[in-house]
Amino acid sequence: MSEVVRYEVEDGIAVITIDNPPVNALGAGVSEGVVAGADRAAADPAVQAVVLIGAGRSFIAGADIRRFGTKRETPTRRSYDALEASPKPVVAAIHGFALGGGLENALCCTWRIAVPEARIGLPEVLIGIIPGGGGTQRLPRVAGVKAALEMITSGRHVPAPEAKFLGIIDELVETGDLRAAAIAFARSIAGKGLRRVGEIPPPAAEAGLFEAQRKVIARKARGQPAPFAAIAAVEAATRLPLAEGLAEERRLFAELENSPEARALRYAFFAEREVAKLPHLPKDTPTPEIRRVAVVGAGTMGGGIAMSLADAGIPVKLMDASPEGLTRGLQKIRDNYAVSVKRGSLTQAEMDRRLPLIEPVEGYDAIADCDAVIEAVFEQLPAKQEVFRGLDAVMKPGALLFTNTSALDIDQIAAATGRPEAVAGTHFFAPANVMKLFEVVEGAKTAPATLLAAMKLGRAIGKVSAYAGTCDGFVANRSRIPFGLEQNLMVEEGARPEQIDRVMTAFGYPMGPFAVNDLSGLDVNYMTRKRRAAADPNYRKWPVADRLVEMGRKGQKTGAGWYRYEPGDRTPHPDPIVDQIAREVAAELGIEQRSFTDEEILHRLLFASVNEACRILAEGKALRASDIDVMWLNGFGFPRYRGGLMFWADGIGAREIYNQIAAWHQRYGARWAPAPLLREIAEAGGSLREAKAPQLRNG
């Protein structure tokens, strides 16, 4: 047959097995192998029915995403057509994932059975396209238009029991051996006729459904054509015969495959897989298991961290220096879960399962046997060092000691222990139980095994783990700081917060940066700025922001910050007082105020960060430019359909960015000095998104 598809006949049942590790994507030879298998089964009079199954950990994860956007031959027959045309019943036996083209192949089979843990879905919109193997036409025919529309526009992975309820799966297989169950099932339905999904007449949609869905999408999927195309394709299924609906689907698919959004989203998909890899570490490094975790500090961060562990089913011991702090922290956790239950995003049963996983304890002795500790106390070095001295005294040998700092020196924290190799940073982003980014920070003495264990822990709690070397701000915040600085300085120069916010929301951010500052509280970084100013005589202060804080304008929580707010309402209203403060600061600093174009605002903010990202990479603090992109996507709300900071920058071109930065260097001085790596890439006509740290370039 083919190297990736096997064909066997067992007692009158043909079994076509796809074996294309790791996830049985429909790569080279797979579709051809399925077609050949279906033909062989059709031609063999001894075969009564066919089973289509996946080897390894999945049924089929979909088309091979790496092949999109490349020239490839259109096969004369696709597996979808061959399966649907089979004169004998075909049973799709699903475990792991049946996604995209995987589910579409299954929908061309006459029956679908699955293990309860399996997940199915059409996630194509998440990579900027729509299903292209008939999913938009066949899913509405089995699941109804409403359910199909929801699945296709969200890309959600649907658990098998729900898929059974929706009519997509015919039977759940509770016994362990799916292959044997599928063969038995095939035998039971052999000779009892065919029930092809494609022969079901076009399904009807309730009035107004498509319009309503377009409105839902308009809010969520700004700037993205794929969800709208998905709605159009499903709409076609309700009014066209199958063949015409399939042609319409193919036309829409072809329009999207090479769209800028699809290219950016494909890049983001692979960047998020690459970020998990630390190829500079020795290959045989063991990864210690972390089963029980302690969290020290029951404040907002510590509570959020404890919740993210409990959410993933990991038992947590929560401790705090003060009994009142612990009680308050636990109450806050309870309240947070209760709010989720009230909103309907969590069931009461799930809350009742998670809460007991968080066990309040007193004193270090109570956590001594945990595999790892995450310290989340006040962001001050002496406080953290004291905790680490306490941990060092009691923790069992081999326990891993993580600090949730956002800016302090990991090495100084590690130095408070006799086991710096076991210490690493695990930087959560607020709110810790919501934000996906999990920065793993390597200190000078951190052992590779400690790093790998931290990376794995992040993934186990559903986060995106990303490596950072230790330096002020680590990678994510350090690359974001110049953006924040320019945002503030442009206000001194005459740009208004509302213009900057409008430019960035039009770019695709869910909120403008000033509105975000007001939401998180302007006082949050006030102390960090003071600390940096004290340490560095050249530190460029943010006088407008500082004055707002000093006036008590700390953002939404005080009813005013960069904007003013009406009581009980989060709508930001521009406030002339802010313009006045900006004018005063400008006058004091001798800055002449002027107007800004939208493009200048966008470029000032993002080029500043591209330049810093190049320095970070050259210093080896981030491994790959794409890691920085992953951080911006998961930590700062950078629009995913633009790929990430460095992917976006490549769209403009390193040379143009370098020239502009060099011009701003002349105009604004040292902070705009072009990074040598940027210059190198610009001169070589190279790609920013492919830039790597020296430790990866040399090895």
Pairing of strands 62-63, 25-26: parallel
Which segment (60-68, 341-349, 463-471, 517-525) binds ligand 3H9 by CB under 6 A? 60-68
Closer residue to ligand 3H9, CB minimum distance, 65 or 582: 65
At its nearest, how many Å lie between ligand 3H9 and the CB of residue 173?
20
Question: Shortest approach of ligand 3H9 to residue 274 CB, angstroms?
Answer: 7
**Residue of 32, 124, 486, 612 with catalytic role:** 124
The answer to whether 388 touches 424, Cβ cutoff 8 Å, is no
- Tell me how far, at minimum, the Cβ of 596 lies from ligand 3H9, in Å: 40
In this structure, what token pair is assigned to residue 475? 């990678």
Among 3, 8, 44, 66, binds ligand 3H9 (CB under 6 A): 66
Residue 457, CA distances (Å) to 128, 417, 462 in order? 30, 22, 9
**Contact status: 425 vs ligand 3H9 (CB under 6 A):** no
Site for ligand 3H9 in 260-299 (CB under 6 A): 270, 273
Measured CA to CA, the distance from residue 79 to residue 99 in angstroms comes to 15
- The strand order across the sheet containing 119-121 reads 97-99, 119-121, 158-159
107-146 footprint of ligand 3H9 as x/- string (CB under 6 A) = ----------------xx--x---xxx-x-----------
Closer of 101 and 561 to ligand 3H9 (Cβ): 101
64 binding ligand 3H9? (CB under 6 A): yes
Q: Which residue, 74 or 571, is less far from ligand 3H9 as judged by CB?
A: 74
Q: State yes or no: is 612 an active-site residue.
A: no
Should residue 644 be labelled a site residue for ligand 3H9 when binding is judged by CB under 6 A? no
SS3 for 470?
A: coil
Q: Any contact of residue 92 with ligand 3H9 (CB under 6 A)?
A: no
- List, in sequence order, the alpha helices (H) in 190-225: 209-220
β-sheet with 293-296: strand ranges across: 358-361, 316-319, 293-296, 372-375, 400-403, 423-428, 437-442, 464-469
CA distance readout (Å), 583 to 82, 287, 526, 592, 596? 71, 56, 21, 9, 15
344 sits in which H/E element? none
What b/e sequence results for 210-237 when a residue is b if at least 16 CB atoms lie within 10 Å of its CB, and e otherwise? beebbeebeeebeebbbbbbbbbbbbbb
Count interface residues toward ligand 3H9 (CB under 6 A): 23
Contact call for residues 364 and 336 (beta carbons, < 8 A): no
Cα separation, 612 vs 136, whole angstroms: 44
Beta carbon nearer to ligand 3H9, 271 or 296:
271
How far apart are CB 604 and ligand 3H9 at their closest, in Å? Answer: 35
**Tokens 């006040």, residue?**
378
Least Cβ distance, residue 125 to ligand 3H9 (angstroms): 10
Task: Rank residues 116 and 552 by Cβ distance to ligand 3H9 and give the closer one.
Answer: 116
492 touches ligand 3H9 (CB under 6 A):
no
Choice between 104 and 612, CB closer to ligand 3H9:
104
Should residue 72 be labelled a site residue for ligand 3H9 when binding is judged by CB under 6 A? Answer: no
- CA proximity to 175, closest of 70, 53, 93, 76: 93
Confirm if 564 and 575 have CB atoms less than 8 A apart: yes
> Closest-CB residue for ligand 3H9?
100
Residues 6+ apart with CB under 8 A from 199: none
Taking CB under 6 A as the rule, does residue 432 contact ligand 3H9? no
Contacts of 626 (CB under 8 A, 6+ apart): 267, 270, 271, 274, 275, 644, 646, 647, 689, 690
Rule CB under 6 A: say whether 249 interacts with ligand 3H9.
no
- For β-strands 437-442 and 423-428, DSSP reports them as antiparallel
Pick from 37, 62, 469, 643: which binds ligand 3H9 (CB under 6 A)? Answer: 62
* Cα–Cα distance measured from residue 502 to residue 507, given in angstroms and rounded to the nearest whole number: 8
Side-chain-side CA neighbours of residue 75 (13 Å):
18
Rule CB under 6 A: say whether 23 interacts with ligand 3H9.
yes
Asked whether position 229 contacts ligand 3H9 by CB under 6 A, the answer is no
Could you tell me which stretch among 19-27, 85-93, 338-346, 523-531 binds ligand 3H9 (CB under 6 A)? 19-27
Residue 458 touches ligand 3H9, criterion: CB under 6 A: no
Under a CB-based contact definition with an 8 Å cutoff, are residues 456 and 287 in contact? yes
Binding mask 527-566 vs ligand 3H9 (x if CB under 6 A, - otherwise)?
----------------------------------------
Placement of tokens 């001295």 in the chain: 389
Of 62 and 469, CB closest to ligand 3H9: 62
104 tagged catalytic: yes
For ligand 3H9, the closer of residues 65 and 93 by Cβ is 65
Residue type, 110: T
Task: Tell me: does residue 99 bind ligand 3H9 (CB under 6 A).
Answer: yes
Binding range to ligand 3H9, per CB under 6 A, among 56-64, 105-113, 315-323, 481-489: 56-64
- With contacts defined by CB under 6 A, name the span among 55-63, 390-398, 537-545, 593-601 that binds ligand 3H9: 55-63
By beta-carbon proximity to ligand 3H9, the closer residue of 95 and 478 is 95
- Among candidate residues 32, 84, 104, 612, the one labeled active-site is 104
| Residue 564 β-bridge partners | 560, 573
Q: What is the largest CA-CA distance in the chain?
A: 92
The yes or no reply on residue 100 touching ligand 3H9 (CB under 6 A) is yes
Residue numbers of the site for ligand 3H9 (CB under 6 A)?
22-23, 25, 61-66, 97, 99-101, 104, 123-124, 127, 131-133, 135, 270, 273
Q: Which residues are catalytic?
A: 104, 124
